Structure formats: C-alpha cells, structure tokens
Structure 1
Amino acid sequence: MNDDIDLKQYIDNIPDFPKPGILFYDISSLMRNADAWQLATSRMAHAVMPWQPDQLAAIESRGFLTAAPLATRLGCGIIMLRKPGKLPGETVSLSYDLEYGSDSLHIQAEAIKPGQRVVVTDDLLATGGTLAASIALLRKAGANVVGASVMIELAGLRGRDKIDVPLHALLTYKD
C-alpha cells in the first residue's frame, strides 16, 4: 500500500444527488477498494490518536462506517448518535435547525461516563449543523468532546465555522 496515494481518486462525484443541483461525494467507491479504505482509516486514526479518545461518537448512518475501523485501530468504544426511535432504553436528545428544516439526535442515557474524552466522527462536513448539534448533545450527556474527524469536508459551505473543537478532515473540497 502506497502512503502517497491521493484518496480523492477513489471518491465518486455524483451530480444531482439526492436532488438537482447537489454534487454528492460518495465514499462507497473508496470503501470498495481495500487498499484505499485501509489507507483512509489509517490516516484518520493517526490524526485522531493524539486526542486520546475514550469513545468515538458516530453520527447516523455513514458515521458508523468511519467510526468502526477507527475504534478498532484506536482501542476505544463507539457511541451511536441516532434519529428518534432508533435506540432502546432511556435516551438524551437534542433538536436542531437545518437549512431546510429541523431534526433531532438521540444518545442512550448511559452511553457516556461524565468527563469521558469523545471524538465525533462522520463521513462528511457540509454546513456543520449536524456536527455542531452532535457536539452539543454529547456535552449535554456529560462528554468532554476533544475533537471531530470527517472523511470529507466541503470547505466552501463553511461548516467548520460552527465547530468549536479541533477538526480533522481527511479530504477537503474547496468548491
């Protein structure tokens, strides 16, 4: 496996998905290539390791895909941040506004021990609303959120401006 590989060559750009005018950056093509996927998760783990997380918080649903190999590499657990009605037992929730409406995220009430070091993971950072809400929810549940890591950042949408923790983006698209 070559560490100099440009991982952007493994990201498919799908025009007009999920609706006209949107250019979708699809990590499925990256995940299908074993060497590229190993390199991507290795680079993300290397970036996250200095934050010494106790847990990774994965945002539904593609965040689950990025968190699982990272947790294995880092030797930590995974906390799922999910849509309403998807987690059993008592949950802590947070509702938030998006550019096209509102949404809410839930976490199991017993998922975090107070003060645990948590890094939030997801596949994509666009406008930042969901990632910012995830950080707020984790803090509400008692976490010490020490960073966030995403596979792709769409820098032109300025989502980074809404994030108040260190942020690592594996790949950045300027447009």
Structure 2
Amino acid sequence: MDFREQLKKAVEVLQNGGLILYPTDTIWGIGCDATNAEAVKKVYDLKKRAERKGLLVLIENEVRLNSYVREVPEMAYDLIELSDKPITIIYPQGKNLAENVYAEDGSIGIRVTKEDFSRSLCQRFRRPVVSTSANISGEKAPRSFSQINEEILNGVDYVVDFRQEEPGNAAPSGIIKLDVDGQVEVIRE
C-alpha cells in the first residue's frame, strides 16, 4: 500500500471508532478520534492506564488550537513557531473533545505535528487524533516500531505500514505547561 492508501485506511478506522498504531513526529503512537469517548476508553484499556491522567492529541496546525482550547495563551504560538523539536503544550482548559481525553483538572496536551503522515492524517480526518506512546502504562516507550509490545500490536484495529524500518532513535516530545496568566512550567525537555 502506498502513502495515500495507508492514510485512507487509517482515516476509515478512526471514523469507525477504532484504534490505529501510527508514526508521529516523535515515537510511534496509539491513536483514535479525540472527540469519541468510546474510542478514547479503548486506548486507556489497551494501555492499562488510569483515565484521570489524560491523553495528548495531535492537530495539523496552530490555527486549530482555538477549536480545542478555551483560551490560548499568546506565548503558545511563539513556542510552537520557535521550537526546533516537537513540543506538546498543556493548556489549562480544553473544549470540543471527548471528556475522558482531558486530565483530571480539565487540562489538555496538544501538539502541532509537522511530520508528513500524522499531519496528513489530521488534515484528512478533520479532527484531532489521540497520540499516546505505543506501550503499556509504566513500561518504557518504544523508540522504534520493532520495540512495540505484541499486546499493543494485537490490540489495535490497524497498524500503519509506513516508516516501520526506521532505526530506534525516536524520542518523546518536550512538554510545557502554560497557564492563562503566563506562567510556564517545563515538564519534559
């Protein structure tokens, strides 16, 4: 299957409430429709992760932030533009997403992806896509496709066959928490 066929199949699975395993701008991710609470629950179940922790979502460009964040701090746009590596920003209050995707305090982690497949996926799907590391909660995140646990591979509805042969040097994104009042907290560099 070529890139477009992979993309089409992944979008179909997302539209039907399924889970995908896909390459992102960082490490391989488990994805689903971030607006579908039942699909989000499947991700928590597969990862054996507590729902109160929340999940991060990917969008294709910063213009879409206003659709999913109640109040976007101005600094967020600068951080996205100036960052030389993938950066996830945790915003104080999300909106228009599945209730179980938010952290216990209502915050939401969002990353604007610049990687070809994940960006195209978000564009074509026209909704944010959950992106959580392809591992069981508490286990080490895989740095390459070959390190992904069989339980994860068998637990998703579709595995994207793109970039699977890349070497194991992928790393998670940096994480910054922003408050509306301008406070910044670096959670992971």
With normalisation by structure 1, the TM-score equals 0.32
**Bigger strand share:** 1
With normalisation by structure 2, the TM-score equals 0.30
Structure possessing the higher relative contact order (Cα contacts under 8 Å, 6 or more residues apart) = 2
